[in-house]
Structure 1
Amino acid sequence: MLALAAHALAEGQNKPEPKDLWLEPFIPASSWKPCADQHNWEPNEGKNGYILVTANGGMNQQRVAVCNAVVLARLLNATLVVPKFLYSSVWKDVSQFSDIYQEEHFINYLSPDIRIVEELPKELQSLDLESIGSIVTDEDIRKEAKPSFYLKNVLPILLKNGVVHFLGFGNRLAFDPIPFQLQRLRCRCNFHALQFAPKIQETGALLLQRLRQHEGHPGGPLDHYLVGSYAEAFKRQNQSHPKKASRYLALHLRYEIDMVAHSLCEFGGGEEERKELEAYREIHFPALTLLKKTTKLPSPQELRSEGLCPLTPEESILMLAALGFNRKTRIFVAGSQIYGGRSRLIALTNLYPKLVTKENLLSTTELEPFANFSSQLAALDYIGCAAADAFAMTDSGSQLSSLVSGFRIYYGGGKMATIRPNKRRLASIFTKNSTIEWRIFEQRVRKAVRQTKHVQTRPKGRSVYRYPRCKECMCRTE
């Protein structure tokens, strides 16, 4: 099928692309405007005690945890200590909050909502939090617990001991039901309070400049949020050489070994692949390994038919070719440490010669400050994806894809196209790809993706970070 795609791209390189390929449904999408910055309440005094949070996971999981912690501080009338990030054996990154975000902006922006301090008062720093029962882990809180759970179970600990430490704090606060202002605070934190640190913004602006292949770019609200004043700085430096911007497509390949191993899917690598992924699971996902031994789980074939397997790099590229992106399309690939090695990524350039990664666009010297800091590198990928003219996600469950697509809705003015594949439908198409003509494959893929390209308000219980079209985050103008 890759050979058929290559032939089709070569034959149609001067053929016009489908009219809606780079577009969102503009009229319904543009009727929603950002308004999470609005609030009408008094600042929280934080007099009930202090909340410590040590967030786990990668950059995007940690971001969600920080937003939830901000809401809990308001809910419990507590003072939030600037969150810390837990070292992970998967991510292997020692980055802390101020390495990724602007700490002063975070504290000041949220000062009308909650009280935030850099550290615990000295009299509380010597407490043995475990012995006094002030450590609360993810095991103590069910996933997406309601605010009432915290008022009933955590507030008494806070009032008794003066401090509560949420250790490994993940996705532990419900999206519904939750009071309007608390939900809005969640949006305010995500879309306004968390701005990347200056060194990330500066390198991110350089990345965007090279992706767009021009010296100056008018930018917009999203550019300003992502890279701050650095976008304007690059524009001023080069305004004597104006060039028209080149549009680009960003593709998030969530196909790193942790995702591949955790999916329990198979990807055509036979016994060698099974042994490698099982060994990885035993080290990094021991609970999943145990579950496999004690519980009958769906087979890899069943998982794939249900659309629960991540798209492979080859499937992702086939999808883009079938949608009509021509051979000249500039494609930025995020998450480029793909399972199977760089040779797998290089093979895709046979179809799209202008396929690039941040490693291609930034020099070794420019990337050196971020070496061994996976979360900071993820922030650069985040910037490249969020600012793209079109963004294609390959796994709808990915936190980066969810957060990026939400940002594009919130700041994009209805102009930033996002491709959200229905993996179950695509799985059905891909299983037949060796027996159908390219023209039929193309038609089926386009239909499957077009069905997901619509403007919708946030479904009940779903993430406000991914679906910000709701009264708490955005205001409708019609």
Structure 2
Amino acid sequence: MAKIKSTKNSILTINPHLYPQFLLFFSPKNHPRNPPPSSSPSSCILLSLTLFLASILCFTAINPFLDTNSVSIITRTATYSPLFLASLSSVYQDPNAEDNDSPVSLSVTSMVPLPPRSVAGNSSEFWKQPDGEGFEPCLSFGLKYRRRSVKIAREKKRFLVVVVSGDLLQIRNQIVDAVVIARILEAALVLPVIKGDESEFSEIFDVEHFRKTLKADIRVVSSLPSTHLVSWQSLENQIPYNVPPFWIRARFFKKLNEEGSLVLTGLDSKLSKNLSPDLQKLKCKVAFHALKFAKPVRELGNRIARRMWIEGPYVAIHLSLEKDLWVRTGCPTGLGSEYDSIINKERESNPEFLAKSSNTNCPLNALEAARLLKESGAPANARVYIAGGEPFGGDRAIMPLKTEFVNLVTRDTLARDVELNPYRNRSAILTAIDYIVSLSSDVFLPSYNGQMAQALQGHRAYVGHRKYVTTSMNFKGQPQPRGKRRDRDVGARGEIEM
């Protein structure tokens, strides 16, 4: 991110009462008895000079408000930033429902959140948004990167195929890394294959938008050409964790050059976080601009978000209370010995879980989440949206939260059956709906530092540093300098370069 100076004080204002005097200053003083000739050369010169100077002053006054498509960073004005205007328009319509033939603009993100709300009274401090300190997203790539893009974006000989799996946020992160790897290998990227979910890439994400947004960085194709058929038995999944770009290039570029295609799988957390500034910007471009949800998913998520927003400010809590998370962490569920016994038995039957240290990075249960929300200053009548999968223990698991905050809703209580029925067995799409509603919330609180929490922390920082509550009460969503920590993902953390 880059810190942009405000243009508020750079606008030259013109006093309309001074304009007639300005004209008189350049006009010749004539006696009433001797009117000037109509074709005096000096009068024409002075009049032309006056109009020329007036035009310059008018252009200077309105120039800060002019929009240009050549700007590659999101600049900020005091009042009318592109994101601000798009955010207001999203209250009544889907801001992302543009014509497929229109050019992709990087002045706003692929998902525009609804504007934050403000309230008066004792709870006003809780709803107050953090100070963004003037930092704004910056996608100005270096000259070397742009020169290489001319060739890479036209690549027709080398093709990279990636197979991604996991939940929605794991899929998203692997796609981001796949684009960076394709760039490193100077290869065209075939649309990623999603394994383990009933939805295909085109059902979750907008394919055409993905392709158009990245057309200046890499070439994206729908499938391998017939001349590059590969055997799916040759999947390359022996990639260690945290590998740097030079390892990727040294390991795969020669093979890709010889065979023309390469299939990679198991990309989760494999690419190093310590990347060059241009590759870090590319990751942000993919995550926050290229990966836009498919239109049906986007429209449903935005409708539910508006149903929350129209009633006033709201909190989104992502509760990670699924059974598999309790089994994986070995943490107490907060539901009593009966439920903890069930978790312990499953852990005993899976030695790989017992090998991991228990009670580390434990998720908050509903009671702990309610306490954290109250300690943060949330009023008892605050409207709370619960995101997340089916909790272990059912309604009993979230009862402590319902007791403290009576205005508690979920996507099932806000959406009509006819709206959700097509996606009942589509976990990735249901998560996408929760993601959209959580992104627009005035305050976001995760119960666990998992993929959803990290993705929303970065995204909320990218769209204007929306308030974000964690167990660390010192952090409220304000800009976080990276400093010397080069092993942290800017796309997930929303940090800034120092």
Residue 330 (structure 2) aligned to one of 243, 264, 274: 264
Q: CA deviation at 1:463?
A: 1.1
Letter in 2 for 1:450: N
Q: 1:269 to 1:157 in 2, by over 3 A?
A: same
Higher RCO (CA 8 Å, separation ≥ 6 residues) = 1
Distance in 1 of aligned mates of 2:315 and 2:338: 34
Q: Does 1:108 align with 2:212?
A: yes
Instruction: Give the corresponding residue for 1:204.
Output: 301
Q: 1:77 to 1:255 in 2, by over 3 A?
A: same
Q: 1:70 to 1:35 in 2, by over 3 A?
A: same
Distance in 1 of aligned mates of 2:301 and 2:173: 21
Distance in 1 of aligned mates of 2:199 and 2:249: 32
Contact 1:105 1:193 (8 Å CA) reproduced: yes
Aligned to 1:276, what secondary structure does the other structure show?
Answer: helix
Matches within 5 A, 1:124-139: 124-125=228-229, 127-130=230-233, 134-137=234-237
Letter in 2 for 1:179: S
Distance in 2 of aligned mates of 1:470 and 1:344: 37
Distance in 2 of aligned mates of 1:328 and 1:197: 34
Contact 2:135 2:479 (8 Å CA) reproduced: no
Q: Does 1:73 align with 2:182?
A: yes
What is the CA deviation profile of residues 382-417 of structure 1, one whole-angstrom value per residue up to 9, with x for unaligned ones?
Answer: 011111011112212x111111111111112x4x21
Letter in 1 for 2:292: Q
Residue 420 (structure 1) aligned to one of 456, 470, 480: 470
Letter in 2 for 1:156: K
Q: Does 1:362 align with 2:418?
A: no
Matches within 5 A, 1:244-263: 246-263=312-329
Moved more, 355-364 or 266-275: 266-275
What is the CA deviation profile of residues 174-216 of structure 1, one whole-angstrom value per residue up to 9, with x for unaligned ones?
Answer: 111x2222221111111110111111111112101211135xx
Q: CA deviation at 1:469?
A: 3.3
Matches within 5 A, 1:430-449: 449=473
RMSD: 2.4
Contact 2:461 2:477 (8 Å CA) reproduced: no
Q: CA deviation at 1:356?
A: 0.6
Distance in 2 of aligned mates of 1:355 and 1:63: 28
Instruction: Give the corresponding residue for 1:59.
Output: 168
Give the greater-gyration-radius structure (CA): 2
What is the CA deviation profile of residues 292-313 of structure 1, one whole-angstrom value per residue up to 9, with x for unaligned ones?
Answer: 2xx4x5454xx3xxxx211001
Distance in 2 of aligned mates of 1:453 and 1:18: 18
Letter in 1 for 2:486: K
Letter in 2 for 1:54: V
Letter in 2 for 1:354: N
Distance in 1 of aligned mates of 2:477 and 2:490: 18
Instruction: Give the corresponding residue for 2:371.
Output: 318
Letter in 2 for 1:462: R
Matches within 5 A, 1:68-467: 68-87=177-196, 93-125=197-229, 127-130=230-233, 134-137=234-237, 140-176=238-274, 178-213=275-310, 246-269=312-335, 272-278=338-344, 280=346, 289-290=351-352, 292=354, 295=355, 297-300=356-359, 303=360, 308-396=361-449, 398-412=450-464, 414=465, 416-422=466-472, 449-450=473-474, 454-458=478-482, 459-467=485-493
Instruction: Give the corresponding residue for 1:241.
Output: none
Letter in 2 for 1:157: K
Q: Give the structure-1-normalised TM-score.
A: 0.73
Aligned to 1:172, what secondary structure does the other structure show?
Answer: coil
Instruction: Give the corresponding residue for 2:136.
Output: 33
Distance in 2 of aligned mates of 1:328 and 1:291: 40
Q: CA deviation at 1:157?
A: 2.1
Q: Which runs of 5+ in 2 are unaligned?
A: 1-119
Q: Which runs of 5+ in 1 are unaligned?
A: 1-14, 88-92, 215-245, 423-448
Aligned to 1:106, what secondary structure does the other structure show?
Answer: helix
Contact 1:54 1:167 (8 Å CA) reproduced: yes
Q: 1:259 to 1:36 in 2, by over 3 A?
A: farther
Q: 1:279 to 1:82 in 2, by over 3 A?
A: farther
